[in-house]
Chains A and B, each alone.
Chain A
Amino acid sequence: MFNNQYDIEIENLWWKYATSKDWILKNISIKIRKGEFLGIVGPSGAGKTTLCLCMSGLIPLRSKGLMNGKVLIKGMDTKSISLQKIISKVGIVFQDPDTQLVTMSVEDEIAFPLENMGFSKKEIKERVEEALKIVGLEEYREKYPYELSGGQKQRLAIASILALKPEILILDEPTSDLDPIGKKEVFSILSKLRKEYNATLIVVEHNTEELAKYANRIAFLYNGEIIKLDAPNRFFKDIEFLKEKGVYPPQVSEFFYYSKIGNNENNFPVTIEEAINIIKKEINIENLKNRINQIHNKLYTKKNRELEEEIINVKNLVYEYPDGTIALKGISFKVHKGEYIAIVGPNGSGKTTLAKILVALLKPTNGEVKIFGEDTRNINVSDLATKIGYVYQNPDHQLFSPTVYEECAYGLRNLGFNEKEIKERIEETLEIMGLNGLENVEPFMLSKGQRQRLALAATLVLKPEVIIVDEPTTGQDMKQSEAIMELLNKLNKDGKTIIVITHNMRIVAEHIKRTIVLMNGKIILDGNTREVFSNIELLEEASIYPPQITLFAKELINKDLTILNTYELLEILKLNKIR
């Protein structure tokens, strides 16, 4: 009997793919109400995407495998109805917008599912207009999808599904591949869908701070099972448990957990607004003013370690691509040995171009770049292999050998190392990266986290003095992100110069000492991370949003106060880590 208060009912669901040995989903039971916003979190490999595919009907209707239990969508069992019936009720948006856009123009993309379902021309026209309006892409209707930015592409992917007017919308990590502007755009659409259309939304995200703002409930999927399901205010109470299982809680929740402020049994804050309301009742900020100033001054005047020799010198660097795009418009900065630098900025600001110039893949159009005293115009890329390593965001672009061992040996052989030294270096590096024992495994058979570590290992084995890492934590769960950052921290302590390109301001604030902000090909800020995060207005222009705890502290205490992590705020407010 269909209970019409629930849009999706999952009962004792077990699923494994035809090619997997173990069950991917184990005894999942959950009911999702009409109009609910359900967030799903969990570490990589937990089964989140598989669960989304089950809720959309693509499993079992389009996947080979074994299913026990049932999934009811509006009372219809996905095992016994057609995909056609399900599609009109449920839409699904995936992580990578490029794989979802298959036509030649924005409006054709929105029309595509309607044409597939046989709607009349009149109806298609009306729905295309409506969908364009909802996502704010009216002025782009004739453009090729590939001409859009990441955020626009994902909005288009959402519009394409919305055209079918599904009552339920599933989004699987919709913002993982996007920059901060893109993320904001997507969440703004979701908020609109919720308020104006009362859509049932199911969103898989690593970004718990956004989820916490909107979700009615959050489900924690771990190793194929739902191990926690609750409203955000109760869900994020058990911080240690969440962190141990690989989920980033919102920083304000983390702060409240460690501070044990007030009676937060049923009213645990997950947003800045909630946190401000609670804390102001419990603490008199005025009384702490002197202490705050004292500690803040101490933080600001903390002595930086003395700079060592200069290894990178960029002077008035200009880079123009063959199509006329000027990616870098006269930037200058220096890097000293042992520095730990973050390069941040919206997509299109020139970060990747800069990284490619530093490793001599691209040569400057104008200006000068010197690496260890040599002009990059006169250096071959391969000659820099033992001096600068560059690790991309997507490990699949960097793994090309038949085995893990061969992957690590590739660079060493090219550089003429003997087999004995190659073996020693590889053993040492694989041990550090937690990949020992996997020497004979094919790289593409590893999990995503392992592939990421292997990509890093293949560069580290060359023992470069400078390591440039592009988006090391994108799409990673907390545990993996922390592990990578711990490794980079250790490498920096051992004297390596680390340059991290990232959109993740939390890891910048918590780990990285110096930040360079790029916008439209120019450096707008360059300095100590704390000083950079003090410039809120300028950062907003560059669509950079400091971590939640930084914004919380500014609002709570003083807008001139720049806190970088939860523990600093605890110290400042005399709320030392109690648990």
Chain B
Amino acid sequence: MNSEYKKGITPMHLVISGVTAGVCIVLALFAIILVPVPGLPSASGFWIPAGFYFVFTLWFGIWGALGGHIATFIAMGYFSGYTLHIWLDGGLGDFIAPLVTLIIFRALKADPELKTKKDWITWIVSVPISSLVCGLWVHSVNLAFGIITPPFWWIGVVTYFLGDSAAIFIVGTPLLKTLSKYVKASPVYVEGIFS
């Protein structure tokens, strides 16, 4: 008989979030120290963890995104304090952004293995869209908290758009190409968004 393994959300999904968060926290701390951006607190000019949690989201669905969210909040908070602003700003921003890419991939039935032209186009187009959404979110939060003024909002959005996209493409593309096949063959791959 085919094994009646449990469908739906299982402890494995929670483990995915915990382990990916642990990985991304370290990467985030490292990125903040390595490439700080003058003028933007707890930010990094090359947000390495984005490359990871975008890929984790494509492999593990919302659970990868949750890992990225927790990681960003904990890492940014380590330098800037665990404030509501930091949670709404980087924390939630880095939860929403990879979900945008995930939704696009699942809607267009694109393969994270990046085998066909369609897969590549989906990847190349969805990443900048997600980075833009992240930039819009983060700097709207900064505006709402009074850190920046409207003229600087645009500067922040463009910085995020470029910085995040670069990190995701540079780090994420080789991870997807090299490991997606392996992950898809393993029990941890999440085909949908939740399970």
Per the bound structure, the CA–CA distance linking A65 and B185 in Å amounts to 12
Per the bound structure, the CA–CA distance linking A236 and B182 in Å amounts to 39
**Contact among A19, A61, A79, A445 with B6 in the assembled complex (CB-CB below 8 Å):** A61
Per the bound structure, the CA–CA distance linking A19 and B188 in Å amounts to 12
Cβ-defined contact, B3 with A67, below 8 A? yes
Cβ-defined contact, B1 with A64, below 8 A? no
Per the bound structure, the CA–CA distance linking A64 and B1 in Å amounts to 11
Chain A minimum-CB-distance residue to B4: A60
Per the bound structure, the CA–CA distance linking A65 and B118 in Å amounts to 31
Q: Which residues of A contact B179 (CB under 8 A)?
A: 444
**Contact among B178, B185, B187 with A63 in the assembled complex (CB-CB below 8 Å):** B187
Q: Does A402 contact B (CB under 8 A)?
A: yes
Q: Which residues of B contact A422 (CB under 8 A)?
A: none
Per the bound structure, the CA–CA distance linking A342 and B34 in Å amounts to 40
Contacting residues of chain A (458-513) with chain B, CB-CB under 8 angstroms: none
User: B52-71 interface mask toward A, CB cutoff 8 Å, 1 = contact, 0 = none?
Assistant: 00000000000000000000
Interface of B is mostly: loop
**Contact among B3, B6, B10 with A66 in the assembled complex (CB-CB below 8 Å):** B3
Whole-angstrom distance between the Cβ of B181 and the nearest chain A Cβ: 8
Q: Does A59 contact B (CB under 8 A)?
A: yes
**Contact among B2, B3, B186, B187 with A61 in the assembled complex (CB-CB below 8 Å):** B3
Given A19-B186, A442-B182: A63 in contact with B5 (beta carbons within 8 A): yes
Cβ-defined contact, B1 with A66, below 8 A? yes
Per the bound structure, the CA–CA distance linking A450 and B168 in Å amounts to 32
Q: Which residues of B contact A63 (CB under 8 A)?
A: 3, 5, 187
Given A63-B187, A64-B187: A445 in contact with B182 (beta carbons within 8 A): yes
**Contact among A68, A79, A442 with B4 in the assembled complex (CB-CB below 8 Å):** A79
Contacting residues of chain B (1-21) with chain A, CB-CB under 8 angstroms: 1-6, 10
Q: Which residues of A contact B186 (CB under 8 A)?
A: 19
Contacting residues of chain A (12-37) with chain B, CB-CB under 8 angstroms: 19
Chain B minimum-CB-distance residue to A64: B5
Cβ-defined contact, A60 with B182, below 8 A? no
Whole-angstrom distance between the Cβ of A450 and the nearest chain B Cβ: 15
Whole-angstrom distance between the Cβ of A101 and the nearest chain B Cβ: 13
Per the bound structure, the CA–CA distance linking A19 and B181 in Å amounts to 11
Per the bound structure, the CA–CA distance linking A445 and B1 in Å amounts to 28
Cβ-defined contact, B178 with A64, below 8 A? no
User: A67-100 interface mask toward B, CB cutoff 8 Å, 1 = contact, 0 = none?
Assistant: 1100000000001000000000000000000000
Chain B minimum-CB-distance residue to A83: B6
Q: Which residues of B contact A298 (CB under 8 A)?
A: none
Chain A minimum-CB-distance residue to B1: A67
Q: Does A305 contact B (CB under 8 A)?
A: no
Chain B minimum-CB-distance residue to A60: B3
Whole-angstrom distance between the Cβ of A23 and the nearest chain B Cβ: 14
Whole-angstrom distance between the Cβ of A161 and the nearest chain B Cβ: 16
Given A19-B186, A61-B6, A64-B187: A79 in contact with B178 (beta carbons within 8 A): no
**Contact among A19, A60, A68, A442 with B5 in the assembled complex (CB-CB below 8 Å):** A60
Q: Which residues of B contact A579 (CB under 8 A)?
A: none
Whole-angstrom distance between the Cβ of B109 and the nearest chain A Cβ: 21
Given A63-B187, A64-B187: A444 in contact with B4 (beta carbons within 8 A): no
Cβ-defined contact, A79 with B5, below 8 A? no
Cβ-defined contact, B1 with A79, below 8 A? yes
**Contact among A59, A61, A442 with B178 in the assembled complex (CB-CB below 8 Å):** A442
Whole-angstrom distance between the Cβ of B14 and the nearest chain A Cβ: 10
Per the bound structure, the CA–CA distance linking A220 and B69 in Å amounts to 47
Q: Does A62 contact B (CB under 8 A)?
A: yes
Q: Which residues of B contact A402 (CB under 8 A)?
A: 178
Cβ-defined contact, B182 with A444, below 8 A? yes
Cβ-defined contact, A64 with B182, below 8 A? no
Cβ-defined contact, B3 with A59, below 8 A? yes
Contacting residues of chain A (73-131) with chain B, CB-CB under 8 angstroms: 79
User: A37-69 interface mask toward B, CB cutoff 8 Å, 1 = contact, 0 = none?
Assistant: 000000000000000000000011111111110
User: A389-410 interface mask toward B, CB cutoff 8 Å, 1 = contact, 0 = none?
Assistant: 0000000000000100000000
Taking A64-B3, A79-B3, A445-B182 as given, write out 9 further A-B residue pairs in contact, using a Cβ cutoff of 8 Å, ordered by the A residue number: A60-B1, A61-B4, A62-B6, A64-B5, A64-B187, A79-B1, A442-B178, A442-B182, A444-B182
Give the A-binding residues of B (Cβ under 8 A): 1-6, 10, 178-179, 182, 185-187
* A-B interface, 5 closest residue pairs, ranked by CB to CB distance from nearest: A60-B3, A19-B185, A65-B3, A64-B5, A402-B178
- Report 26 cross-chain contacts, Cβ distance below 8 Å, ordered by A residue: A19-B186, A60-B1, A60-B3, A60-B4, A60-B5, A61-B4, A61-B6, A62-B6, A62-B10, A63-B3, A63-B5, A63-B187, A64-B3, A64-B187, A65-B2, A65-B3, A66-B1, A66-B2, A66-B3, A67-B3, A68-B1, A79-B1, A79-B4, A442-B182, A444-B179, A444-B182
